[in-house]
Amino acid sequence: MSGNSEPRKYKNPVLNWIEFRLPIISYFEKEYGDYPMPKNCNYFWSFGALATITLVTMIVSGIFLAMNYTPHTEMAFDSVERIMRDVNYGWLLRYIHSNGAAFFFIIVYIHIVRGMYYGSYKYPRELNWILGVFIYLLMMATSFLGYTLPWGQMSYWGATVITNLFSAIPFIGEGLKTWLLGDYTVGNATLNRFFALHYVLPFVIFGIVGLHVAAVHVHGSNNPAGIDIRSKNDTVNFFPYMLIKDTIAVCVFGVLISAVIFFGPNLMAEVDNYIPADPLVTPAHIVPNWYLAPFYAILRAVPDKLGGVALMFGAIAILFVLPWLDTSKVRSCNFRPMYKWFMMLFFVNFFVLGYVGMLPAEGLYLLIARVGLVYYFGFFLILTPFIGWIEKPKTLPLSISDVYLGGGKQSPLTASQKEIH
Amino acid sequence: MAENSNNKRRDFLQLSTVTIGAVGTAAFIWPFLKSMNPAEDTIALGTTEVDVSQIEEGQSITVKWRGKPVFIRKRTKDEIDEAKTVNMSDLKDPEEDVDRVKKDEWLVLVGVCTHLGCVPLGQKLTDSKGEYNGWYCPCHGSHYDTSGRIRKGPAPENLAVPPYSFLNDTTIKIG
């Protein structure tokens, strides 16, 4: 028997049999069991796990919703109402899915804030950051497509406004818009393809998340000190330490999202979307979902159609090159006395942009949006490169374990800088 | 010498294989992309006939043509004068009023804002008509005048005039 010559790595013969043919057991052991995590990682490092769990929840609840949804302009709205009233637990599935989308963005925004503040996007994790921005971009596309499906007034007019953005492109714009819609206006052809794409994109996201995780595991996770792992003393194994920590985070998250799903399921919804779509009447005030509002504010802040569209897409595109705009070698903002405050102001500014993006674009709101727009781009294009040059960072700890030993054993910056790079 | 010509042959074969592969792939993708364009039944030019005998001066109606709202307005004397006396240099998308109407009192427009596709207000008597007494788009604040021309706001072009004709004095055929 050839089986006798197989290596016996595990006690369980079934695991051995699988491992010899497909070394998936040792892969999971390495990546999720013994994977060394910097021991100073705080709860900000749980948001990647939270985002993965939310993605799976969205896919599962979405598949079950699709079993009862009809992607036709005449029937879509009613089929959603049927899910809410007649389908067993349909209301729960739909509220999980609609609020899950909002929480997915909350989690991912915190995850991005973590990456920016602690400089996780810097060498050698640039590709990891780029994959993350791709995921964020796909998430925005997917949520926009999904928002169209209930075929309410906001669905219809949101889809109209967003697809019209493409008509701003010179020469090919109108043709491109018609091609995207499959009609001259948002119609049945549009609803059908939006449903098809909304179904498939989450699986694409899932695939890129796999690459995103694989990429971070190559050089290991960043940490609040932003310095490299030097020895085994600097880390703890993912299992059980970080798994338990992430599980606590998941429990807290579960409490929060349940509170919204059960006690305020429409807190983040627009009431106008409970009115069936009417192609002849535009709602007085078209509001995007809050998680897309900062970009909508940028679009409206520019008094030119093409210029507004270009800056809106530019605001997302600029994220891709952040690793090369930042000239500082120090990762964590904890050791960057100047940049830290501009970074925090950037987060506040993004929040303010989102707020005015949901209000009418006039008077003071328009002025605030314009100031916010200038800071958004100024932060990336001017502050980030220049502060990197002129700022004098605080001295970095020698190692991650040193963080816990208190001061005294600090190295001059130049030495640690060399080692980081 | 023999080796050299052999290398050239290899290069040629490699290049032609890659080229044919690329052309084949592109040809294969084309039907998929093309299938996303409007289908034949969607393209089939819809026409709408509208009886306008009931419309009083100063009133507007909205009809649906190819899924889009079309505004038909019987303009008052004041509105016509206002539209005709505008200085062309004040316009963002200069166009004479006479080029936008077939009969002075009848204004026919596609009621879709040229900015991002909302339906402007101004059809109902209670609606805001904007600063130029025509239409006002609430989405992003574009103002249109009594000839449907863009006067203020982010929209780049005038409201479009659809192809239409008068079948008789009281019937308009759109499309």
Q: Distance between CA A410 and CA A413 in Å, rounded?
A: 9
Same-domain pairing of B105 and B140: yes
Output the pLDDT for position A144: 95
Could you tell me which residues come within 8 angstroms of residue B9 by beta carbon, excluding any fewer than 6 positions away? none
Give the DSSP letter of residue A277. Answer: P
Enter the tokens of residue A333.
């903002």
Please give the helix or strand (H or E) that residue A164 lies within, else none.
helix A153-165
What ipTM does this complex have?
0.78
Question: Would an 8 Å CB–CB cutoff place B175 in contact with chain A?
Answer: no
Same-domain pairing of B54 and B139: yes
Same-domain pairing of B18 and B101: no
Q: Do A361 and B140 touch (CB under 8 A)?
A: yes
Same-domain pairing of B84 and B134: yes
Q: Distance between CA A362 and CA A358 in Å, rounded?
A: 12
Please give the helix or strand (H or E) that residue B48 lies within, else none.
strand B48-51
Q: Do A184 and B68 touch (CB under 8 A)?
A: yes
Same-domain pairing of B71 and B105: yes
User: Does the pLDDT value for residue B143 go beyond 80?
Assistant: yes
Q: Do A305 and B67 touch (CB under 8 A)?
A: no
Please give the helix or strand (H or E) that residue A203 lies within, else none.
helix A188-219
Q: Supply the range of the domain harboring residue B100.
A: 43-174
Interface of A with B (CB under 8 A): 157, 160-161, 163-165, 167, 178-185, 187, 189, 193, 279-282, 284-286, 300, 302-306, 308, 361-362
Q: Distance between CA A298 and CA B100 in Å, rounded?
A: 34
Provide the number of CB pairs (under 8 Å) joining chain A to chain B.
Answer: 81
Output the pLDDT for position B45: 62
Q: Do B139 and A187 touch (CB under 8 A)?
A: no
3-state secondary structure of B140: coil
Q: What is the total count of domains within chain B?
A: 2
Q: What is the pLDDT along chain A (421 residues), one digit of tens a residue?
A: 445 677 888 889 999 999 999 999 999 999 999 999 999 999 999 999 999 999 999 999 999 999 999 999 999 999 999 999 999 999 999 999 999 999 999 999 999 999 999 999 999 999 999 999 999 999 999 999 999 999 999 999 999 989 988 988 999 998 999 999 998 889 999 999 999 999 999 999 999 999 999 999 999 999 999 999 999 999 999 999 999 999 999 999 999 999 999 999 999 888 999 999 998 888 878 888 899 999 999 998 988 889 999 999 999 999 999 999 999 999 999 999 999 999 999 999 999 999 999 988 778 999 999 999 999 999 999 999 999 999 999 999 999 998 887 654 444 444 444 444 4
Same-domain pairing of B63 and B13: no
Same-domain pairing of B133 and B55: yes
Same-domain pairing of B12 and B57: no
What CATH number should be reported for the domain holding residue B126?
Answer: 2.102.10.10
Residues of B that are catalytic: 140
Same-domain pairing of B13 and B75: no
Same-domain pairing of B66 and B108: yes
Same-domain pairing of B116 and B130: yes
Q: Distance between CA A151 and CA A73 in Å, rounded?
A: 7
A187 contacts in chain B (CB < 8 Å): 42, 67
B39 contacts in chain A (CB < 8 Å): 182, 189
Q: Chain B: give the shortest CA distance to residue A192, in Å.
A: 11
Q: Chain A: give the shortest CA distance to residue B171, in Å.
A: 22
Same-domain pairing of B58 and B117: yes
Chain B interface mutation, best of A153, A174, A282, highest count of B Cβ atoms under 10 Å = A282
- By Cβ distance, the residue of A163, A167, A184 closest to B38 is A184
Output the pLDDT for position A204: 98
Model confidence pLDDT, tens digit, residues B110-136 = 999 988 888 999 988 888 888 999 999
Backbone angles phi, psi at B166, to 5 degrees: -90, 115
